[in-house]
Structure 1
Amino acid sequence: MKKKYSYILPTLIALAVAIGIFIGGKLHFNDTPEKLFSTNSKKDKLNRLIDYIDYEYVDDINTDSIVDVTVNNILGKLDPHSVYIPKSEMEEVSENMKGDFVGIGVSFYMYKDTITVIRTIKNGPSYIRGIKPGDRILMADSDTLFGRRIPNSTVVSTLKGKEGSKVDLKVFRKSENKIMNITVTRDRVPIKSVDAYYMLTRDMGYIKINRFAESTFGEFKDALKKLKLRGAEKLVLDLRDNPGGYLGIAEKLADEFLEDDKLILYTKNKKGRIKKAFATKKGDFEDKPVYVLINERSASASEIIAGALQDNDVGTIIGRRSFGKGLVQREMDLGDGSAVRLTVSRYYTPTGRSIQKSYKKGHRDYYQTFMERYSSGELISVDSIKVADSLKFKTPKGKIVYGGGGIIPDVFVPIGSNEEEAIESMDDTYEFFSRFIFEHLEKDRNRYAEFTKNQFLDEYGVDDILLDEFIQFMLNRKIKIDFYAQEDKIKAYLKANIAEQLFSPNISAQIKGEHDTMLEKVKELDAAIFKQSEIGVLDLEN
């Protein structure tokens, strides 16, 4: 069974990478869109063909679908990150990058054919009106939301609406066995890009960023301010699995760590025009230790920050080689609610590196190269990373860095075993832990009612009964690994998911962090730097 799973896991990881980086490719573009209005024979030919089909073709046909296919085929001949966003997806993509949407502020599961609240957004519309985790939303105005399989998209569209509009909810509270009528005023609800922040050690803060949206820099500054008030003089910036986003936001964030006038990056378009971005005097964390975590799913804007710091000899990059996306997109509105995000330039790190990997063999091969990294052993050993001497660069302090195919970290941390990675996939990608804990809490939420955050963090422990119930939950879903060999990690993830649903993502991240090999490496490295600060330079590769 282990052999079978070792074959399946790389495929699942590669699929997750492709999806994540595809989304990141959609999101990474400059802030100024351009409209193209021109007349030429090629454009006229395409227009005439579509009109001819529309008016003369023997059967009725949706020419909009033809246009969509045509646009996708055209972009498919370019690079993997020039993408078409149809009208049906544009609203969701735009909300994700803006960092908020208008709604009632709840996360939910469809549980036994009923919308059941997992948690409410603190200080959001539903939170203010007293809706609690475990509440069932039965109706929204005249729309019935129970008793049938309703797609999440339908539920979301029903609960969303115009800012300031009201929705009358009929809510069943299981713990009190009563139905309540609650009117909620829709408002802007944040889509957080800072997943979590907390104090990793007495003087070191931790911030996890999942993408670079319009709201990301403000969220980061707020988290950093709170950590500094708690005594943070060092910082871990976690960019693992971050597919990217806005170029300008990445520049702002890199500026926080770089001295005035340091080059952050430069871009070059097809005409050879170069645009440079420099650090300003606005940085709040200059001249302080910073550790940046990256992995094979860190791309685009994440690589901009890692490359800018590495090339300026600032901080320490820890983890595994990043994805390798060095292209910049710009959005063009197509006039019908859809849009194209077209690659308009390449970006280069301060030493002149392009970290874009080749896509000459097509899109399929482009994403398949991740599998080659896995099979070549480079996720296990830094010595297996293939580099070309022609892509060798040198930082101002003489450190050797390489272009092509991603950012190679200063300190390498190998990927975990198949079973360790499986546990993380069960949590992040498939949400098995979250779903199991939700159902566990549904049985008896009062069991946890007396815990404060600190009490839960310090005193609560997952017992063997809950562990066995989770294992049976997974076996019922045909997932078979040696669960007991990963007992400590599984128990930590169960506790973390309880903490997230009862308290906050920050508490959850703190619990998971105790079993994070990269964070262990950070603490080990920081202790070694402190110890050797008076006796010599630390060899980061040891």
Structure 2
Amino acid sequence: MSKSKTYFPLIIGVAIAAGIFIGGKLNFGDSSDRLFTSNSKKDKLNRLIDYIDYEYVEDVNTDSIVDVTVNGILDNLDPHSVYIPKENMQKVAENMKGNFVGIGINFYTFKDTITVIKTIENGPSARVGIVGGDRIISANGESLLGGGYNNDTLVDKLKGERYTQLLLEVYRKGEPKLLTFNVTRDEVPIKSVDAAYMLTNQLGYIKINRFAESTYKEFKKALLSLKKQGATSLALDLRGNPGGFLEVAVNIVDEFLEDDKLIVYTRNKKGKEDRSYATKKGDFEKGQVYVMIDESSASASEIIAGALQDNDKGTIVGRRSYGKGLVQREMKLGDGSAVRLTVSKYYTPTGRSIQRSYDNGNRDYYDDYSDRLNSGELLDESKIEVADSLKFTTPKGNIVYGGGGIIPDVFVPYDTKMLNETLTFLEKRGYLNNFIFEELEKEREVYKNMSKEDFFNNFKITDEVVKSFEDFLKIKTRSNIVFVAYKEEVKYYLKATLAEQLFGFGAYFKILNKHDVMIDKVIDLSNNQN
């Protein structure tokens, strides 16, 4: 990788596959007695497992066989019916609930010591005075020095039951002796609203990363705050958002649509439909809305974009969305594991399904990104394939299409500079975050009295820092990564990461958005609208 090249992030499909299988909570009419009555097909599987357990010549872990069997069955259904092993259930549940119980820090094992990168705003550690740069020496008298623990083990030692206490000994640079903090474990929010601020005097901006149980509450708080600041238009950024709970998306759409407008409907295998309509509670029904989507916007993100597009409300900006129109329900399997099974399909108000075909199997389904790349669709709107048989008309006569994602009203091509594969990889793997932390540790005092406004407007990343980052990556990745063709873009990412560690919520995107071509397009549209 000695020469920088720009690629589309091929790994994006894997991230989407992990995030989009939660579609909603629906009422499921069948009782457990009816669902799990004995029959020959189930008996056959039970007998086979028993034979292997008791008669097979060697000892076999039949639990693993069952897991493989379950996955094999689901692989023959659809790409979004998935099995969740027992050991993964807690993490998945926390992610979709929107919080976990812990002490509220982001940390990095720096020189064999747990070092706080930043505390989570209003979390347990922030409340007792722990700050970025603090090194945790011991927890409840147990030394954490020496680098003998991996991250999962360290997380286990810091997490625990709610309201239990953790006595931490902390080294802080400049303090003559160790500091002691008694932290009470509590619920720590996993934010789904990444940023909320004003792009212009009239245009507000909210970025949502997923649709968890807490998302609507976060969104509503941000929306009301922006209205108080004068927002009459809103840029709703759903790029990279893999979806989540259907009813959360419905609640958000309700803020924009007038009473009794159809938002979405689902249909199960028996043909039963469940329709969701807008209510009287909308707080932004008169405002202009710009929904930003891309090839990673899926499921609940597409419900929002489709509902607004079909009701002739606002403008959809970006690239064709992912194309997931299936709804899953989580069902427990009795041993701590669960299956998320597709139980219905959802349809936008005009009646279109935006689910992509999976007739050729899961591998072909997830190769759709490569197909879009090879066809040129991500750079050229004319390359988007549509079928006349899937043409629908909105109440105002606008043509929309089903059959594979939401096609935007205003197309914005992929930015091969800001979104190249190398930068995406380095950001997702934490290399940017860890490098900036180490740089910050060298001169944390320099930034102590710097205001957020001064930093945003005047601070610049130097060429020397970029060279230091290259040297850092050479050690960490054992690769010779040299930023030649996109040095300025690297500087934007480094500054954004530094802003996040210094100033917290929203700072990262506030920096990057200054160099975002889709944001620029939305601002232009908003200015012309006004």
Match of 2:188 in 1: 189
User: Contact (CA 8 Å) 1:499, 1:505: kept in 2 or not?
Assistant: no
* Residues 1:22 and 2:15 aligned together: no
Kindly report which structure 2 residues correspond to 1:115-134, keeping only aligned pairs within 5 A, or say none: 115-134=114-133
Match of 2:438 in 1: 439
User: Contact (CA 8 Å) 2:423, 2:490: kept in 1 or not?
Assistant: no
1:167-218: CA deviations, max 9, x gaps? Answer: 1222222343532232211011000010111111111110000000000000
Q: Distance in 1 between matches of 2:45 and 2:119?
A: 50
Secondary structure (helix, strand or coil) at the match of 1:28 reads coil
Report percent identity of matched pairs.
57
User: Contact (CA 8 Å) 1:87, 1:338: kept in 2 or not?
Assistant: yes
Match of 1:169 in 2: 168
Deviates most, 497-506 or 375-384: 497-506
Q: CA deviation at 1:435?
A: 1.7
1:472-528: CA deviations, max 9, x gaps? Answer: 334554666773443433222222111100112322211111000000000111222
Match of 2:497 in 1: 497
Q: CA deviation at 1:433?
A: 2.0
Q: Distance in 2 between matches of 1:411 and 1:78?
A: 35
1:28-61: CA deviations, max 9, x gaps? Answer: 2325567443221111221122122222223222
Match of 1:106 in 2: 105
The residue identity in structure 1 corresponding to 2:201 is R
Q: CA deviation at 1:227?
A: 1.0
Higher RCO (CA 8 Å, separation ≥ 6 residues):
2
Secondary structure (helix, strand or coil) at the match of 1:206 reads strand
* Residues 1:411 and 2:417 aligned together: no
Q: Distance in 1 between matches of 2:18 and 2:72?
A: 16
Pick closer, same or farther for the CA change 1:473–1:162 going to 2, 3 Å.
same
Q: How many residues align?
A: 525
User: Any gaps of 5 or more consecutive residues in structure 1?
Assistant: 531-542
Q: State the Cα RMSD in Å.
A: 1.9
* Residues 1:486 and 2:482 aligned together: no
The residue identity in structure 2 corresponding to 1:250 is A
Kindly report which structure 2 residues correspond to 1:440-455, keeping only aligned pairs within 5 A, or say none: 440-455=439-454
User: Contact (CA 8 Å) 2:318, 2:413: kept in 1 or not?
Assistant: yes
User: Contact (CA 8 Å) 2:3, 2:482: kept in 1 or not?
Assistant: no
Q: Distance in 2 between matches of 1:198 and 1:21?
A: 30
Q: Distance in 2 between matches of 1:108 and 1:273?
A: 49
User: Contact (CA 8 Å) 1:14, 1:367: kept in 2 or not?
Assistant: no
Secondary structure (helix, strand or coil) at the match of 2:205 reads strand
Secondary structure (helix, strand or coil) at the match of 1:30 reads coil
Match of 1:178 in 2: 177
Secondary structure (helix, strand or coil) at the match of 2:367 reads helix
User: Contact (CA 8 Å) 1:254, 1:264: kept in 2 or not?
Assistant: yes
Pick closer, same or farther for the CA change 1:354–1:201 going to 2, 3 Å.
same
The residue identity in structure 1 corresponding to 2:516 is D
Q: Distance in 1 between matches of 2:156 and 2:484?
A: 42
Q: CA deviation at 1:405?
A: 1.1
The residue identity in structure 1 corresponding to 2:212 is A
Match of 1:528 in 2: 528
Deviates most, 63-72 or 367-376: 63-72
Q: CA deviation at 1:255?
A: 0.8
Q: CA deviation at 1:309?
A: 0.3
User: Contact (CA 8 Å) 1:299, 1:324: kept in 2 or not?
Assistant: yes
User: Contact (CA 8 Å) 2:427, 2:433: kept in 1 or not?
Assistant: no
User: Contact (CA 8 Å) 1:102, 1:161: kept in 2 or not?
Assistant: yes
User: Contact (CA 8 Å) 2:5, 2:485: kept in 1 or not?
Assistant: no
Secondary structure (helix, strand or coil) at the match of 1:352 reads coil
User: Contact (CA 8 Å) 2:319, 2:413: kept in 1 or not?
Assistant: yes
Match of 1:540 in 2: none
* Residues 1:367 and 2:366 aligned together: yes
The residue identity in structure 2 corresponding to 1:104 is I
Q: CA deviation at 1:160?
A: 0.9
User: Any gaps of 5 or more consecutive residues in structure 2?
Assistant: none
Match of 1:42 in 2: 41
Q: Distance in 1 between matches of 2:215 and 2:178?
A: 39
Normalised TM-score (structure 1): 0.93
Pick closer, same or farther for the CA change 1:243–1:371 going to 2, 3 Å.
same
Secondary structure (helix, strand or coil) at the match of 1:14 reads coil
Pick closer, same or farther for the CA change 1:325–1:2 going to 2, 3 Å.
farther
Secondary structure (helix, strand or coil) at the match of 1:318 reads strand
Match of 2:70 in 1: 71
Match of 1:345 in 2: 344
Q: CA deviation at 1:80?
A: 0.5
Pick closer, same or farther for the CA change 1:270–1:411 going to 2, 3 Å.
same
Match of 1:519 in 2: 519
User: Contact (CA 8 Å) 1:29, 1:330: kept in 2 or not?
Assistant: yes
